[in-house]
């Protein structure tokens, strides 16, 4: 497990809580934290994948438990917290990895044309068709799904040496992507909240930063990026044209940034920043 790390930091005796910990990107975080000696609580809405991931970690010599938790339910988070306190101890590191989009918070076209309104096709979703409850779901999942776990677990962290919260933003928080107004707005809110919380927690020794991934192929966006035959969609081709490094990221390429941010030795004065890991996508104007 540790052989795949870009470098190793000492997290011995630390307890790390990872929401969405069974997902493609966050499961890499779980592996890295465990390989560095942390005891990891893997939180997921569904217990089975969380326990499966925990078993994988323990079989590789790490310490991990799978815990069921809904990041939008304070009672669920409190129950999960009590279990973690009993089994592992108080939280030192919180990774707010839970998040995502919803198809009904997404337009089918990048631009609105008048004919989309006058010659309405059944499969066309315009800006005017977006449903408030679906937008609310996406916003809540990403924003409240970061805020509520922070409320629950930051209580443990007050004046604990090396206490840190790492949120997961997105490069579309810098410049919104077409078609996904709910998700882009929600991730912009996560970035803003990261800065707010860093300031708010600065007197009690809790650092708060965020990682903003660019385009990584995950189970969640696989259908968006690839056709059924595995070839790239038109949107994928556009993404790669606008990613100066000319490729998608691999999940393991987020690990170095994570370890840098969780290491008090490496980043003790780094607070309130959002670090893009996106192959220069957010730096490129398209020209």
Q: In which residue are the tokens 């509520």 written?
A: 148
Q: What's the pLDDT at 103?
A: 84
Q: How far is CA 207 from the centre of its chain?
A: 17
CA–centroid distance for 46 within its chain: 17
Which residue, among 24, 31, 18, has the nearest Cα to 71 in the 3D structure? Answer: 18
pLDDT at 226: 85
Q: What pLDDT is stored for residue 220 in this prediction?
A: 67
| DSSP code per residue over 65-134 | EEEE--TT-HHHHHHHHHHHHHHT-S-SEEEE------GGGS-SSSS--HHHHHS--TT---GGG--HHH
Tens of pLDDT along the chain (287 residues)? 444 799 999 999 999 999 999 998 999 999 999 999 999 999 999 999 999 999 999 999 999 999 999 999 999 999 999 999 999 999 999 999 999 988 888 999 999 999 999 988 888 999 999 999 999 999 999 999 999 999 999 999 999 999 999 999 999 999 999 999 999 999 999 999 999 999 999 999 999 999 999 999 876 677 778 888 889 989 899 999 999 999 999 999 999 999 999 999 999 999 999 999 999 999 999 99
- pLDDT number for residue 66: 98
pLDDT at 253: 95
Q: Where are the domains of the chain?
A: 10-283
Our answer to whether residue 143 is catalytic in this structure is: no
DSSP secondary structure letters along the chain: -GGG-SS----TT-EEEEETTTSHHHHHHHHHHHHTT-EEEEEESSHHHHHHHHHHHHHTT-EEEEEE--TT-HHHHHHHHHHHHHHT-S-SEEEE------GGGS-SSSS--HHHHHS--TT---GGG--HHHHHHHHIIIIIHHHHHHHHHHHHHTT-TT-EEEEE--GGGTSPPTT-HHHHHHHHHHHHHHHHHHHHTGGGT-EEEEEEE--B--TTTHHHHB-TTSPBPHHHHHHHHTSTT-S-B-GGGGHHHHHHHH-HHHHTT--S-EEEESTTGGG----
**CB neighbour class for 171 (10 Å; exposed up to 12, middle 13-18, buried from 19):** buried
pLDDT of residue 2: 44
What pLDDT does 225 receive? 82
- Describe the crossing of helices 74-87 and 145-157 by its angle, rounded to 10 degrees: 40
Separation between Cα atoms, residue 36 and residue 12, nearest integer Å: 7
Q: What pLDDT was estimated at residue 285?
A: 92
pLDDT of residue 186: 97
From the options 3.40.50.1450, 3.40.50.720, 3.40.50.620, 3.10.20.600, give the CATH code of 10-283.
3.40.50.720
Q: Which of 111, 183, 260, 284 is catalytic?
A: 183
Q: What is the pTM of this model?
A: 0.94
Q: At what angle do helices 145-157 and 181-200 cross, to 10 degrees?
A: 20
């Amino acid at each position: 497990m540790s052989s795949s790390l870009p470098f190793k930091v000492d997290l011995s005796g630390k307890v790390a809580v990872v929401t969405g910990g069974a997902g493609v990107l966050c499961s890499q975080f779980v592996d890295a934290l465990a390989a560095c000696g942390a005891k990891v609580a893997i939180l997921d809405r569904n217990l089975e994948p969380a326990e499966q991931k925990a078993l994988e970690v323990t079989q590789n010599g790490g310490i991990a438990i799978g815990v069921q938790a809904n990041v939008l339910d304070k009672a669920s988070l409190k129950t999960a917290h009590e279990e973690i306190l009993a089994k592992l101890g108080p939280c030192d590191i919180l990774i707010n990895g839970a998040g995502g989009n919803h198809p009904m918070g997404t337009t089918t076209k990048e631009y609105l044309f008048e004919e989309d309104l006058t010659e309405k096709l059944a499969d066309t979703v315009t800006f005017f068709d977006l449903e408030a409850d679906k937008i609310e779901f996406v916003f809540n999942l990403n924003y409240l799904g970061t805020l509520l776990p922070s409320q629950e677990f930051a209580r443990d962290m007050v004046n604990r040496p090396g206490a840190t919260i790492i949120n997961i933003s997105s490069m579309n928080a810098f410049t919104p992507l077409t078609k996904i107004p709910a998700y882009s707005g929600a991730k912009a809110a996560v970035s803003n909240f990261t800065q707010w919380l860093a300031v708010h927690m600065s007197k009690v020794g809790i650092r708060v930063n965020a990682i903003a991934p660019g385009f990584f192929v995950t189970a969640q966006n696989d259908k968006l990026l690839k056709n059924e035959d595995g070839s790239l969609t038109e949107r994928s081709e556009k993404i790669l044209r606008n990613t100066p490094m000319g490729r998608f990221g691999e999940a393991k390429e987020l690990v170095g940034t994570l370890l840098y941010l969780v290491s008090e030795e490496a980043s003790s004065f780094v607070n309130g920043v959002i670090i893009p890991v996106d192959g220069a996508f957010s730096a490129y104007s398209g020209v």
